[in-house]
RNA sequence: GCGGGUGUAGCUCAGUGGUAGAGCGCGACCUUGCCAAGGUCGAUGUCGACGGUUCGAAUCCGUUCACCCGCUCCA
């Protein structure tokens, strides 16, 4: 599936359904009809997400001497976002063509000259119907357009309001026609000549008021929910540098929530209004930026491989000139083949010294770094691997989802739904099952095993129904191992098998025997 | 934001103006010596929400919320 438009909505629907059925992901405030673009993680989803975050933190913070972690506040000072350019520069003015409803970037409409034909409303002969609503059309005489074009378009526009579909818009009578010559107008869609709506600002940041008694119109009380975790890192650059005694190159990592008022949340949790990021800002000397960007790309690809997302399902988009943010010299998007299309999981961007430079200028506090060896002073450059945590969780689920057709001894077909998580990501590492519930010895031993493993890994005890059914239930939860306490465990087949259990493997459904005393080490090895 | 579709049990869905349904799942008990669907019993729910029409609305109308698809957008 390398075609971007290749999608599988049915597969996605099954995944969404499984997520709810098994308690991975629920819609937020479902009880009250749902909250647009917000999702809640259930018991299994919370474990899965935590495993991902823990592993990311372990690989990028704990196991590296050159990266420090922080956990910044979500509420953000407005000056931080003024300096970063989020307030002011980045909200796009949008307007809609009143006739075709096409959405246009207001700042991208070329100024046009021509004659504006304006109307105050319209009516329909021999009926009660009429509408009073101003509307205009731009006519360009040099394109051989005339008043007939204007009237035709206006009739189509007013025709939208006709309730009776039998009536032809062509017979509409226009009211109050007037004309005016204009130069350099941007109020009309160049493609149709139709009037567009007034430009509206789409500011995608969540605004709030600081202080319990602050007045709603007090500009000094305005704060924002951060639209990205990155800015918290930039504004703490000096603090971390001084307290950690790091030297360039070094990075600051953070996992945390960010908020964007997405115009159109879509594709399950993929585009949410509240989401979690896993970001590193890796500070370096200017001459190392390009090389480190490539190195980080490789490291991040390795990471995805380790959590069970194969390299061949990932696509690297080398974002071309003109499509990158203006301050970025190089950006790679790491994309995954979701069932709804190829979509971005992570961006690895070389942001130059833009961010620290901006905060230096805006705050008036120097952000430069003195390299003692080279006796040089400069503003550090930064490489940013910025991963979407919820998107990666979704990718893990999509990648793990599998339906398998099994044929039993009698040739009867049967299908099995399995989430093939890699063991270190699996929400439940092992299920502990007494073969028979009515065997008191089996349930007692199984519960003892549960108690002994619980402090170290997430395990699940289940004694209900036939063991085969319990195995299948764990397959849908993605549990890689089932530990079954049986009659051999009790010593019925002799001392050799006494105090051992059956370990049933999720993917192959094969079994092996392991001594109870060895279980913890056996499992820890498998889940790293 | 526009256009199209959908919304009934945990899940998948039937029910088109007259007492709220099925399969699976779930819980209890029985059965079960290693791969789901054996037996008995049981709970499922403001039919997305609000308003209207009607003697009567899951069903018709309006509004709204949410999800899906296509545009659009995504610093």
How high is the pLDDT of residue A33? Answer: 80
Cβ of residue A510 lies below 7 Å from strand B? yes
Whether the beta carbon of A476 falls within 7 A of nucleic chain B: the reply is: no
Residue A245 to residue A237: CA distance in whole angstroms: 12
Residue bearing tokens 């005489």: A141
For nucleotide B38, the protein residue with its alpha carbon nearest to C1' is: A466
**Residue labelled with tokens 């991208």:** A108
Strand spans (E) along A42-144: 67-70, 75-77, 92-96, 103-105, 112-123, 130-139
- How much of chain A, in percent, has pLDDT values that exceed 90? 56
Task: Provide the 8-state DSSP code for A411.
Answer: S
Q: Which of A31-45, A100-114, A386-400 has the lowest mean pLDDT?
A: A100-114
**What does DSSP say about strands A500-505 and A481-485: parallel, antiparallel, or unpaired?**
antiparallel
pLDDT of A128 > 80? The answer is: no
3-state secondary structure of A11: helix
Give tens-digit pLDDT for A244-263. Answer: 999 999 999 999 999 988 87
Q: pLDDT class for A493, splitting at 50, 70, 90?
A: confident
- Res A127: pLDDT: 75
Check residue A482 and give its pLDDT.
Answer: 96
Closest listed residue to residue A400, CA positions, set A483, A336, A482, A468: A336
Average pLDDT over residues A360-382: 92
Q: Do residues A327 and A351 touch, judged by C-beta distance below 8 A?
A: yes
Q: Are A25 and A269 in contact (CB under 8 A)?
A: yes
**What's the pLDDT score for residue A1?**
39
CA distances from A514 to A77, A451, A497, A498, A510 (A): 57, 18, 9, 10, 13
A268 touches strand B (CB under 7 A): yes
Is 70 exceeded by the pLDDT of residue A5? no
Give the CA-to-C1' distance from A193 to B52 in angstroms: 41
Q: Give the CA A264 to C1' B2 distance in Å.
A: 12
Scored b (16 or more CB within 10 A) or e, A498-508 reads eebbbbbebee
Residue keyed to tokens 């209900």:
A464
Q: What pLDDT is recorded for position A144? A: 75
Instruction: Identify which of A3, A114, A25 has the alpha carbon closest to the alpha carbon of residue A396.
Output: A25
pLDDT higher than threshold 70 for residue A344 = yes
* pLDDT above 60: residue A3: no
The contacts of residue A522 (CB under 8 Å, 6+ apart) are A503, A514
Label the pairing between strands A481-485 and A430-434: parallel
pTM of the model: 0.87
* DSSP category for residue A196: B
- Interatomic separation, CA of residue A502 and C1' of nucleotide B40, rounded (Å): 32
Query: Side-chain half-sphere of A204: how many Cα atoms within 13 Å?
Result: 21
Q: Which residue has the higher pLDDT, A124 or A429?
A: A429
- Residue A2 in this model has a pLDDT that exceeds 50: no
pLDDT band at A106 (very low <50, low <70, confident <90, very high): confident
pLDDT of residue A202: 64
Strand B bases near protein CB (under 7 Å) are: 1-3, 7, 10-12, 25-28, 30-38, 48-49, 65-75
A window 127-156: Cβ near strand B (< 7 A): none
Q: What string of DSSP letters covers A308-334?
A: T--GGGEEEEEPPTTTS-TT-SEEEEE
Average pLDDT value for residue range A60-73: 96
Query: Straight-line distance from CA A32 to C1' B50, in Å?
Result: 13
Of the pLDDT bands very low, low, confident and very high (cuts 50, 70, 90), residue A426 is: very high
- For chain A, give the mean pLDDT: 88
Rounded to the nearest 10 degrees, the angle between the axes of helix A43-57 and helix A389-400 is: 110
Is A9 within 7 A of strand B by CB distance?
yes
The model's confidence at residue A497, banded by pLDDT at 50, 70 and 90, is: very high
Q: Regarding predicted confidence, which is higher, A166 or A479?
A: A479
Convert the pLDDT of each residue in A281-332 to its tens digit: 999 999 999 999 999 999 999 999 999 999 999 999 999 887 888 889 999 9
Q: Do A264 and A81 meet the contact criterion of CB atoms below 8 Å apart?
A: no
At residue A164, the pLDDT reads: 58
A91 Ramachandran zone, left/alpha/beta (phi>0; psi -120 to 50): beta
Pick from A319, A278, A285, A284: which is nearest to A300 by CA? A278
Q: How confident is the model at residue A222 (pLDDT cuts 50, 70, 90)?
A: confident
Q: Which residue, A180, A231, A179, A237, is CA-closest to A205?
A: A231
Q: Does at least one atom of strand B sit less than 7 Å from the CB of A261?
A: yes
Distance A105 CA to B71 C1' (A): 14
Task: Tell me which residue of A423, A504, A426, A428 sits closest to A459, measured CA to CA.
Answer: A428
Count of C-beta atoms within a 10 Å radius of residue A6: 11
Establish whether the CB of A442 is closer than 7 Å to any nucleic acid atom in strand B.
no
Percent of chain A with pLDDT over 70: 94
Q: To 5 degrees, how large is the angle CA A232–CA A71–CA A336?
A: 80
């Amino acid at each position: 599936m390398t075609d971007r438009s290749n999608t599988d909505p049915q597969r996605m629907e099954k995944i969404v359904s499984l997520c709810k059925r098994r308690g991975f992901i629920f819609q937020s405030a479902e009880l009250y009809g749902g909250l647009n673009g917000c999702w809640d993680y259930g018991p299994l989803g919370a474990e899965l997400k935590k495993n991902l975050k823990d592993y990311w933190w372990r690989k990028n913070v704990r196991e590296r001497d050159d990266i420090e972690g922080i956990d910044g506040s979500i509420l953000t000072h407005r000056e931080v976002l003024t300096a970063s350019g989020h307030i002011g520069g980045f909200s796009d003015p949008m307007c809609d063509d009143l006739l075709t409803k096409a959405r246009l970037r207001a700042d991208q409409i070329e100024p046009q000259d021509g004659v504006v034909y304006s109307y105050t409303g319209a009516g329909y002969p021999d009926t009660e119907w009429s509408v009073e609503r101003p509307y205009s059309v731009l006519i360009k005489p040099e394109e051989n357009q005339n008043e007939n074009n204007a009237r035709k378009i206006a009739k189509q526009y007013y025709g939208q309001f006709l309730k009776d579909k039998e009536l032809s818009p062509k017979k509409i009578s226009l009211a109050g026609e007037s004309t005016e010559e204009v130069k350099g107008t941007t109020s009309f869609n160049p493609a149709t000549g139709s009037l567009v709506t007034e430009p509206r600002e789409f500011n995608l940041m969540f605004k709030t008021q600081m202080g319990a008694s602050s007045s709603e119109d007090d500009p000094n009380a305005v704060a924002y929910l951060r639209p990205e975790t990155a800015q918290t890192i930039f504004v703490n650059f000096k603090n971390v540098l001084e307290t950690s005694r790091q030297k360039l190159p070094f990075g600051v990592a953070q996992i945390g929530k960010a908020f964007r008022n997405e115009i159109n949340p879509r594709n399950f949790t993929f585009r949410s209004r509240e989401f979690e990021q896993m970001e590193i800002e890796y500070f370096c000397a200017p001459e190392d930026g390009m090389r480190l960007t490539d190195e980080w790309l490789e490291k991040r690809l390795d990471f995805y491989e380790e959590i069970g997302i194969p390299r061949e399902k990932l696509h690297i988009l080398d974002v071309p000139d003109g499509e990158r943010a203006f301050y970025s010299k190089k950006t790679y998007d790491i994309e995954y083949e979701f069932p709804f299309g190829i979509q971005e999981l992570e961006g690895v961007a070389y942001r130059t010294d833009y961010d620290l430079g901006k905060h230096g200028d805006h705050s008036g506090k120097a952000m430069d770094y003195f390299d003692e060896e080279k006796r040089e002073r400069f503003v550090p450059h930064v490489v940013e691997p910025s991963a979407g945590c919820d998107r990666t969780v979704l990718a893990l689920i999509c990648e793990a989802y599998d339906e398998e057709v099994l044929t039993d001894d009698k040739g009867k077909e049967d299908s099995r739904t399995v989430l093939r998580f890699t063991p270190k990501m699996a929400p439940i590492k092992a299920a502990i099952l007494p073969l028979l519930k009515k065997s008191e010895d089996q349930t007692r031993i199984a519960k003892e095993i549960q108690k002994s493993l619980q402090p170290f890994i997430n395990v699940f005890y289940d004694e209900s129904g036939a063991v085969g059914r319990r195995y299948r239930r764990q397959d849908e939860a993605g549990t890689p191992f089932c530990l079954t306490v049986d009659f051999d465990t009790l010593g019925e087949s002799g001392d050799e098998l006494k105090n051992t259990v059956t370990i049933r493997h999720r993917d192959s459904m094969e079994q092996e025997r392991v001594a109870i005393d060895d279980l913890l080490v056996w499992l820890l090895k498998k889940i790293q």
